[in-house]
Amino acid sequence: MCGIIGYTGHRPALPVVLEGLRHLEYRGYDSAGVGYVLQKKLHRVRAKGKLHNLEDALTNLGAAITVSCAIGHTRWATHGIPEERNAHPHFSNDGTLALVHNGIIENYQELKAELVQKGYGFESDTDTEVLINLISFCRQSEPSLLAAFAKALSLAHGAYAVCMLDCEAPQTLYAARMQAPLLVGKGVGEYFIASDIPAFLASTRDVLFLEDGEIVVASPNTCSLYTLTDIVHPLKREVQTIQWGIQAAQKGGYRHFMLKEIFEQPTVIQDCLSGRIKADNHIDLPELASMPLPKQIHIVACGTSYHAGLWGQHILENLAHIPVTTEIASEFRYKERFLIPQDDLVLVISQSGETADTLAALRTAKEHSIPTLALCNVLGSSLAREADRVCYTQAGPEISVASTKAMTSQMLLLTCLALFFGEKKGVLDPLQQKHLLATLKTLPITLANELPTMHEKAKFLARKYAQAKSFFFLGRGHCFSLALEGALKLKELSYIHAEGYACGEMKHGPIALIDPHFPSLVLALDDAFYPKITSNVVEIQSRQGRVIAITNPGTDIAVDDRWEIPKVLDPLSAFCVLPCLQLFSYEMADYLGKDVDQPRNLAKSVTVE
Ligand code: F6R
């Protein structure tokens, strides 16, 4: 979604802001802009399309190079098409205030109508221009700009993160958040306001996390926090230090962030397990200490995190004998009848911890007094703060829009959870537990050894199948959720139509689509499902369908392309299957010349409904 960066300090602000925007590019955007005050007048430069268009427009900065406070924005269109006039910052009619904004003001039409009646005019189609004029209007009757800012924001309904400049106080940034991420970076003699940490990570790791309904007023040497309802008594907030550095948010020699993140998975597995497998071969999750065993678990998530949840359902039911449902958050949040009892657990999964639907689902569960647990990657994110308990997936920053290593870490944590609950419930077979833990410990090495070979095979297959217009991804058991994920990755990255199916469902309709131009990628591991899967493959081949099979050495499946991966104890084989699917889509998209790290129409963190 949109990205915000504001800077106030002692350095030339525009290069700092541009650099910040570059680090926010991964969130997805279709226009960008910067704003600053020069000689008591507000200025802005905006451009449609990618950041280099904005940079081109900013080549002759002239005196503006001296400004040491500025705001910047990458916009992902919600209200109004991606045009320069809709790009941020937006100015108040009197030209004294400038605003960048993430989120949606739901009542902007009513607010706009009232402002039009009062004589305000609008150049853009955005809710942001309404908000900045509302602040400007409130300024006429309020004793200070801070009071007007708080008043206007309390009249706005919906989600927002905003950062504002005033031409009369050129070194001061005003910012606020409500259900959209915003944080403050604290440097030496400088402050940053940003929607995500990478925007300022090159300058500081010291962060102040904001809560919903809070306001920040920052200038180079001071930063005060208030709430929308109290702008007199400043809040106290501890500075937190981020544990990862800027290297983690750079490509590190890889062609794309996505490739880097796929290759980071062995380390991610190690990091996620570290401290969680005890010397006495037990899983330790101190975050869950004293939590009663749930009767049933309801997993709620979106997209790739939902697929991780589906995989987790399989593992939790098999190892912990706890019934599990898995639901898409945008459906869960609008349940007409909420039938979940209070001794169940709602388990929300999210890489970003800011996904609007998942957050709303969590809030719904809390409203019904259901215990909640979040599996989340981003420290201090809304989900992490609002859930009763949180287990961090410790995957490090995921920059590529398409989620890869985050899913691996979610699946790993779900495995830990299943082992933890299974042991607590007394249903876990000690021998199975021993074998699973032993396999988990060797997974990082197994995967690190295999990734280069997998990559080569993915390259070969991507070139061979690049002409396909559609693909099936098929699996059974725990591999069904991986098939869904394989299809999602292919469509979002290469824009090739792809569908994930349970193998056994093919004969109930989808097989009608099979012809020589509609290939299938089948997950045919050497497990209990193998005989069934080979029958399904024969059915596809009888209709002249081409088949790629991800399988293990020693199987006899005869297909167009065998893709052999080492045999790993089930269901942990998933940790070798998933990178193959990710690499296949990555290579396909790269070969077809697509924008791998920022696929069209997508955003990294979906903070709107
Ligand atoms: C796909 C992808 C998305 C996200 C989904 C949920 O590659 O990244 O489907 O998984 O938007 O995001 P989080 O996990 O941040 O809640």
Segment 418-441 shows an average pLDDT of 94
**pLDDT tens, position by position, 387-414:** 999 999 999 889 899 999 999 999 999 9
| CA 469 vs CA 147, 494, 505, 542: distances in Å | 57, 10, 21, 20
Exposed/middle/buried for residue 385 (C-beta within 10 Å: 0-12, 13-18, 19+) = middle
pLDDT tier at 250 (50, 70, 90 boundaries)?
Answer: confident
pLDDT at position 220 is: 97
Q: Within its chain, how far is the Cα of 47 from the centroid?
A: 25
pLDDT tier at 309 (50, 70, 90 boundaries)?
Answer: very high
Segment 222-236 shows an average pLDDT of 96
**pLDDT tens, position by position, 483-495:** 999 999 999 999 9
pLDDT tier at 249 (50, 70, 90 boundaries)?
Answer: confident
Q: Which residues, other chains included, contact 467 with Cβ-Cβ below 8 Å and sequence gap of 6+?
A: none
pLDDT at position 421 is: 96
pLDDT at position 194 is: 97
Instruction: State which ligand 1 atom lies nearest to the alpha carbon of 352.
Output: 15
Both tokens of residue 241?
A: 């230090």
pLDDT at 429 over 80: yes
For the chain, the structural domain boundaries read: 3-248, 257-591
Least-confidence region, from 24-33, 307-316, 493-502: 24-33
Contact 486, 584 (CB under 8 A): yes
pLDDT at 604 over 90: no
In the chain, the amino acid numbered 19 is E
Both tokens of residue 384?
A: 């992490």
Question: CB-side exposure of 363: number of CA atoms within 13 Å?
Answer: 13
pLDDT at position 489 is: 98
pLDDT tier at 275 (50, 70, 90 boundaries)?
Answer: confident
In the chain, the amino acid numbered 270 is Q
Instruction: State which ligand 1 atom lies nearest to the alpha carbon of 404.
Output: 7
Q: Is 547 helix (H, G, I), strand (E, B) or coil?
A: strand
Q: Is residue 391 among the annotated active site residues?
A: no
Rounded distance between C-alpha atoms, residue 517 and residue 506, angstroms: 17
pLDDT at position 2 is: 85
pLDDT tier at 598 (50, 70, 90 boundaries)?
Answer: confident
Place of tokens 């000690």: 430
CB count, 10 Å around CB of 475? 28
**pLDDT tens, position by position, 43-63:** 999 999 989 999 988 887 777
- The superfamily (CATH) of domain 257-591 is Glucose-6-phosphate isomerase like protein; domain 1 (3.40.50.10490)
The best mutation among 195, 256, 261, 352 to test binding of ligand 1, ranked by most ligand atoms within 8 Å of the C-beta, falls on: 352
pLDDT at position 242 is: 84
Ligand 1 contact via 481 beta carbon (within 6 Å): no
Q: Could you please report the per-residue DSSP string of 424-442?
A: HHT-S-HHHHHHHHHHHHH
pLDDT at position 243 is: 77
pTM over 0.85: no
pLDDT at position 259 is: 96
Q: What percent of the chain has pLDDT over 70?
A: 100
In terms of CATH architecture, what is 3-248? 4-Layer Sandwich (3.60)
Tell me how far the alpha carbon of residue 407 lies from the centroid of ligand 1, in angstroms.
9
Ligand 1 contact via 404 beta carbon (within 6 Å): no
CA neighbor of 501 nearest in space, from 527, 520, 528: 520
Ligand 1 contact via 351 beta carbon (within 6 Å): yes
Ligand 1 contact via 319 beta carbon (within 6 Å): no
**pLDDT tens, position by position, 147-182:** 999 999 999 998 899 999 999 999 999 999 998 889
In the chain, the amino acid numbered 64 is A
pLDDT at 244 over 80: no
Q: Which H/E stretch holds residue 298? A: strand 297-301
The best mutation among 1, 26, 195, 304 to test binding of ligand 1, ranked by most ligand atoms within 8 Å of the C-beta, falls on: 304
pLDDT at position 260 is: 95
Q: If you average pLDDT over every residue of the chain, what do you get?
A: 94
